[in-house]
Amino acid sequence: MQVIVPPHSHVDSHTVSKRLKSLPVLGSFHGSDVLNIYGGGDLTDYLIHFATNLDPNGGLSPQWPQYTTSSPQLMTLVDSQATNRTITLDTYRVEAIKFLTKLSLAHPL
């Protein structure tokens, strides 16, 4: 079931809102960005730049910052801003990431 969140509406902080595709608690569903990437959406340029240069940045698209452990930045797609994109810090899952890192170091594939 898809829950429609009107632009400029309040979204609970535990909900990840992505281009009018918001599922309470879970956020967007898997694959909800496929058309935006492969169907000529605003992420298509990032894909082309990454495929040709191993860097999503270039052209007229806003800068997509590199994700690092010292600066965990995400590009968040939203409906309520003129550019529909904003940079947010990936700090909402710090403990889960620490657990997964510890687990993968203890049991490498």
In this predicted structure, the answer to whether residue 20 has a pLDDT above a threshold of 90 is no
pTM for this prediction: 0.58
Contact status, residue 27 vs residue 33, Cβ threshold 8 Å: no
In this predicted structure, the answer to whether residue 13 has a pLDDT above a threshold of 60 is no
Structure-block tokens of residue 53: 């240069």
Instruction: Locate the domains of the chain by residue range.
Output: 1-32+65-109
Q: Which residue has the higher pLDDT, 106 or 85?
A: 106
